[in-house]
């Protein structure tokens, strides 16, 4: 349970920091257009902090970690997918603010991050389904 709590806590901290980063980099560069930086902190707070707080409650109720390897796979695949997605959003958004050319590889890697994130969610629901009693 501590691992889930720590994940939620780290996502909260990084989410707040990226919100500050977005505000400051756009202000320093007098940028007023649209950029992915505006939604990075929302992604971190919703898909990171809030999601893992919900997982924490589900862990308490259904002991998700008793799923063993399935839970471990979910945890690391999901976190890897979210980290890759958010990192690419940060890179792309920063390039937009600075007026730099954006590489299609950045977009492709962000898409890969979303795919990995989806695999993590599938693993989560498989594990959750196995932990919920058949007769409820």
Q: What are the pLDDT tens digits along the chain (136 aa)?
A: 999 999 999 999 999 999 999 999 999 999 999 999 999 999 999 999 999 999 999 999 999 999 899 999 999 999 999 999 999 999 999 999 999 998 999 999 999 999 999 999 999 999 999 999 887 5
Token pair of 105, please?
A: 């590889």
Q: Has this prediction a pTM greater than 0.85?
A: yes
Residue 135 CA from chain centroid, whole number: 33
Q: How far apart are CA 30 and CA 24, in angstroms?
A: 10
Q: How far apart are CA 17 and CA 54, in angstroms?
A: 22
């Amino acid at each position: 349970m501590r691992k889930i709590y720590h994940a939620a806590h780290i996502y909260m901290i990084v989410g707040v920091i990226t919100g500050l980063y977005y505000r400051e980099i756009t202000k320093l560069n007098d940028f007023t257009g649209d950029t992915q930086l505006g939604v990075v902190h929302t992604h971190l707070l919703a898909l990171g902090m809030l999601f893992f707080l919900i997982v924490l409650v589900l862990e308490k109720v259904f002991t998700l970690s008793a799923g063993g390897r399935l839970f471990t796979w979910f945890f690391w695949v999901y976190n890897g997918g979210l980290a890759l997605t958010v990192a690419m959003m940060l890179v792309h958004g920063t390039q937009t603010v600075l007026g730099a050319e954006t590489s299609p590889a950045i977009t492709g890697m962000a898409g890969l991050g979303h795919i990995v994130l989806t695999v993590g969610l599938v693993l989560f629901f498989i594990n959750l389904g196995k932990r919920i009693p058949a007769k409820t």
